[in-house]
Amino acid sequence: METLPLATSGGELSIWELFWQAGWVVKLVMIGLIAASVWTWAIIIDKIIAYGRMRSALNRFEQVFWSGQSLEELYRTLSERKTTGMSAIFVAAMREWKKSFEKGARTPMGLQMRIDKAMDLALSREMERLESRLGFLASVGSAGPFIGLFGTVVGIMTSFQAIAGSKSTSLAVVAPGIAEALLATAIGLLAAIPAVIAYNKLTADAGKIGARMEGFADEFSAILSRQIDEKVGQKAA
């Protein structure tokens, strides 16, 4: 009675051996998926750290802003350093405020619109920075399983070719191709599942941070609007 090689040579079907025995197409698929998985985790870790720092920066700025410090003094302090988040929005608004009054703002409505536009642009830049590279996670999450499936199809085709060449359906002939096919599928899922979960979580976190910055922009716009009205009233008097 014929004995199956699997019973005597289990080491031949280790993951490392499967990779080296796979065809070049399946190898390329596996290498691409592994590289995508590594880059995915690099993005996830970087974003988690960046979002944590952004939340801390927002908390510090809000504490200083609402502490009663004068806007001019806060602007002088922040304009000398690189700003992010609410600080960038504040500096953009104050810069437009100062430029307009130095040139002699004529209409309060025009000044308010320019300040709001400056804050909107600063907010857009901050959101673009927060959401950068999240699209890669979405791409890996959606395309990873299909790329792995492509490797699976190629591996199964290899098994059928081995059956046709040897004219045998024994497990020793079929197993290598099927095993490498399943390995490609597993690597595809290994890359896609964390990417999908992280994309949803990080997108939600970016949205929450963006909502905080947008809320500050609205509050600061109202503060500047009142100051514009006061200055216009003083000139009229």
Count how many domains the chain has.
1
Least confident piece of the model among 15-24, 76-85, 169-178: 169-178
Q: What is the pLDDT of residue 230?
A: 74
In a domain, 64, yes or no: no
Q: What is the pLDDT of residue 23?
A: 79
Across the range 129-145, mean pLDDT stands at 96
Least confident piece of the model among 118-127, 166-175, 183-192, 210-219: 166-175
Least confident piece of the model among 180-184, 205-209, 233-237: 233-237
> Which of 127, 66, 72, 70 has its CA nearest to residue 95?
72
In a domain, 62, yes or no: no
Angle between helices 24-65 and 86-103 (to 10 degrees): 60
Exposure pattern of 68-103 as b/e (b: 16+ CB <10 Å)? eeebeebbeebeeeebbbbbbbbbbbbebbeebeee
Q: Using CA atoms, how far apart are residues 117 and 115, in angstroms rounded to an integer?
A: 5
Examine the pLDDT at 6 and tell me if it is beyond 60.
no
pTM, rounded to two decimals: 0.83
In a domain, 171, yes or no: yes
In a domain, 9, yes or no: no
In a domain, 201, yes or no: yes
In a domain, 182, yes or no: yes
In a domain, 106, yes or no: yes
Tell me which residue range forms the domain holding 169: 72-236
Across the range 109-118, mean pLDDT stands at 87
